[in-house]
A and B are shown apart, each in its own frame.
Chain A
Amino acid sequence: MTRWAMVADLRRCVGCQTCTASCKQANATPPDVQWRRVLDMEVGEYPEVKRVFVPVGCMHCEDPPCMHVCPSTATKKRPDGIVTIDYDLCIGCSYCAVACPYQARYKTDRASFAYGKATAQETQAFDPKRLAVATKCTFCVDRIDAGLAKGLTPGIDPEATPACVNSCITQTLSFGDVEDPNSNVSQLLAENQTFRMHEELGTGPGFYYIWDKKDREEVL
């Protein structure tokens, strides 16, 4: 089986927001909607202050609360772990939004554009189906599916990889199949210490955060 997952190396992220920008460009999300966000956290008290940049978004959970609560079955989980929304079924009740512990879902009731009037790119990418329904990060599922159809490997071949991962200037973000022990993400998880956000809730996020390398003995 395949289980697509993302890994963010918190030691590398510089908070440049290029992933956010590329996501917005690739998915044509309206203003105030960021399927891939980078949080800028300041932790501690002077002089012991640390600044951490944390990419967040839909965690594509193993046991997604959003899917369970959805009354219309618009939210589904594919066998490869990607959580999807059927915009034609969604009624826009926002139950999924309050069920998501990661604040990853958005609902935009009216069309809005960055500069008031739609730019050429916004006009071309505008999808009325996305109005008044829940939206969120898709892991660029269309790119993954199209890439797989061409025999490409998501996470390795840029054409089959989520836009945010492709654009990351520090290689903070990695994408791949965690069920494949030889994949890039499996290697990263094997060599580093990681955590997942709000793991105590039992949602099984498909988004891992690297915070330190493992000791040599642990890797061996």
Chain B
Amino acid sequence: MSFGPKPWHQTNWDFRAAFNFMFGSAGAGLLVVVAFSGVAGGALQAEILLGMALIGAGLISVWFEIGRPLRAMNVGFNPFTSWMTRESFAAGLVFALGLAAVWLASQPLAQAVALAALVFAYCQGRILQGAKGIPAWRVPALTWLIFTTALAEGAGLFVALTALFDTPARGALGYFSLALIARALAWSIYRSGAAKITVPAALAALDRSGKILIQFGTLAPLALLLVGWFAPEVARIVVLLAGIAALATGWQFKFVLITRAAYNQGFALPRLPVRGTR
């Protein structure tokens, strides 16, 4: 039995926080795929810079949201329990290794950046999951949904960028397909967990967004990749569209997750007061 004022949407984190999760995970995902794609030279340097720029843009966006921006360095004071601190450390590692990788155009360093980027993406998932006040966020499966979303968005961005200049390698397209499927599976697991604890308004927002994620962010890109497989003459354009669709739908999902589905649970009374005689 549960009573109380209806849950309402949190007002503490807005689009600026959402941008951190949107840009940050796309950047991290791009750094992961670039490192193992065989890209070298100027393309490697440019894509590492783009990945770092996206992560940086996300962090700058959230910097505009914090109340005391001049104290931003205090974010690093609690590595023992805070995933936000850990995210900041991972970002620092990404930037340090990334700049070295760009400077030296080094594949091994790019792979080290990719590992740091994976940690960064995982931290982002744990940040949301640690928010106990928001039922839609504290679902354990959200961590892996955010993580796989980063992989899918990064892969989408990578194949789209590659398609601008050349036909992407089959290995990259295979990885992209797997990332899309992993994201769809993670969504499915998350959805069943969220249905047990979130309020109807939050679930409705999640469902609308999840539908887009599956239809336009998973099925459509996979279908486009198939078209490209059988019709090489249009391969580059369909891969470009597939990549953009994966990226855009991942971003819209996270935007909705932060700014539309983040209802609290209100207040609940498991018992009502017994007044007068019994």
Chain B residues 244-278 with CB under 8 Å of chain A are 262, 264-265, 267-275, 278
Residues of B close to A56: CB separation below 8 A: 267
- Complex: A201 Cα to B269 Cα, angstroms: 14
Given the known interface contacts A68-B82, A92-B68, A97-B12, the answer about A211 and B75 at a Cβ–Cβ threshold of 8 Å is: no
- Interface membership of A72, Cβ < 8 A: yes
B5 located at the interface, meaning its Cβ lies under 8 Å from any Cβ of chain A in the complex: yes
**A132 and chain B: residue at smallest CB distance:** B67
Smallest CB gap from A199: residue in B: B270
Contact status B137-A133, CB under 8 Å: no
A123 contacts partner chain B, Cβ-Cβ < 8 Å:
no
Partner of A72, one of B3, B71, B262, B265: B71
By beta carbon, the residue of chain A nearest B74 is: A72
Instruction: List A residues 36-63 near B (Cβ within 8 Å).
Output: 39, 41, 43, 50, 52, 54, 56
Are the C-beta atoms of B133 and A71 separated by less than 8 Å?
Answer: no
Residues B67 and A95 in contact, CB atoms below 8 Å apart:
no
* Residue B13, interface by CB 8 Å: yes
List A residues 84-98 near B (Cβ within 8 Å): 89-95, 97-98
Q: Are B81 and A69 in contact (CB under 8 A)?
A: yes
Interface: B72 (CB within 8 A): yes
Contacts of A127 on B, CB cut-off 8 Å?
A: none
Query: 1/0 per residue B35-73: CB within 8 Å of A?
Result: 000000000000000000000000000100111110110
**Contact of B272 with A43 in the complex, beta carbons under 8 Å:** yes
| Residue among A50, A71, A94 facing the most chain B CB atoms (10 A cut-off) | A71
List CB contacts (< 8 Å) of A121-153 with chain B: 131-133
The reply to whether B78 and A71 form a contact with Cβ atoms under 8 Å apart is: yes
Give the interface residue-count category, chain B: 35 or more
> In the complex the two chains form, what is the Cα distance from A41 to B83 in whole Å?
36
If A99-B131, A132-B68 touch, whether A212 touches B77 (CB-CB below 8 Å) is no
Contact of B269 among A41, A93, A103, A210 (CB under 8 A): A41
Asked whether A197 lies within 8 Å of B267 as measured between CB atoms, the reply is: yes
Highest count of chain A CB atoms <10 Å: which of B62, B133, B265, B268: B133
- For B83, give the chain A residue with the smallest CB separation: A69
Question: Cβ of B10 < 8 Å from any Cβ of A?
Answer: yes
How far is B274's CA from A90's CA once the two chains are assembled, in angstroms? Answer: 42
Asked if A73 is at the interface (CB within 8 A of a chain B CB), the reply is: yes
Contact of A189 with B by CB under 8 A:
no
Interface flag for B88 (CB, 8 Å):
yes
Whole-angstrom distance between the Cβ of A107 and the nearest chain B Cβ:
6
Q: Are B77 and A41 in contact (CB under 8 A)?
A: no
Chain A residues near B132 (CB-CB < 8 A)? 65, 99-101, 201, 203
In the assembled complex, the CB of A22 is this many whole angstroms from the nearest CB of chain B, namely 21
Q: Is the CB of B78 within 8 A of A70?
A: yes
A50 CB contacts on chain B under 8 angstroms:
272
With an 8 A cutoff between CB atoms, is B134 at the interface?
yes
Measured between alpha carbons, how far is A201 from B264 in the docked complex, in Å? 13
Is the C-beta of B171 less than 8 angstroms from some C-beta in chain A?
no
With an 8 A cutoff between CB atoms, is A109 at the interface? yes
Residues of A within 8 A of B85 (CB): 71
* Of the residues A73, A199, A212, contact of B273 by C-beta under 8 Å: A212
Contact for A89 among B74, B130, B137, CB less than 8 A: B74
Pair B77/A73 contact, Cβ less than 8 Å = yes
Within 8 Å by CB of B267, from A11, A39, A92, A193, lies: A39
The chain A residue with its CB closest to the CB of B8 is A103
Q: Which A169-220 residues have a C-beta within 8 angstroms of B?
A: 193, 195, 197-199, 201, 203, 209-213
Known: A70-B82, A132-B68. A89 touches B131 (CB 8 A): no
Contacts of A72 in B (CB 8 A): 71, 74-75, 77-78
Instruction: From B65, B74, B76, B131, give the contact of A98 (CB < 8 A).
Output: B131
| A212 to B4 CA separation, bound complex (whole angstroms) | 18
State which residues 77-121 of A face B: CB under 8 Å: 89-95, 97-103, 107, 109
24 contacts between A and B (CB under 8 A): A11-B273, A50-B272, A52-B273, A65-B131, A69-B127, A71-B88, A73-B78, A89-B71, A89-B74, A90-B67, A91-B68, A91-B71, A91-B74, A93-B65, A94-B13, A94-B66, A95-B82, A98-B131, A98-B133, A99-B132, A100-B132, A101-B264, A209-B269, A212-B273
Q: What are the 7 A-B residue pairs with the smallest beta carbon separation, nearest first?
A: A92-B67, A132-B67, A10-B273, A94-B12, A72-B74, A71-B84, A212-B274
11 more A-B residue pairs beyond the given contacts A71-B78, A94-B67, A211-B274, with a C-beta to C-beta distance below 8 A: A11-B273, A69-B83, A70-B82, A90-B68, A91-B72, A91-B74, A93-B84, A99-B133, A100-B133, A102-B133, A209-B271
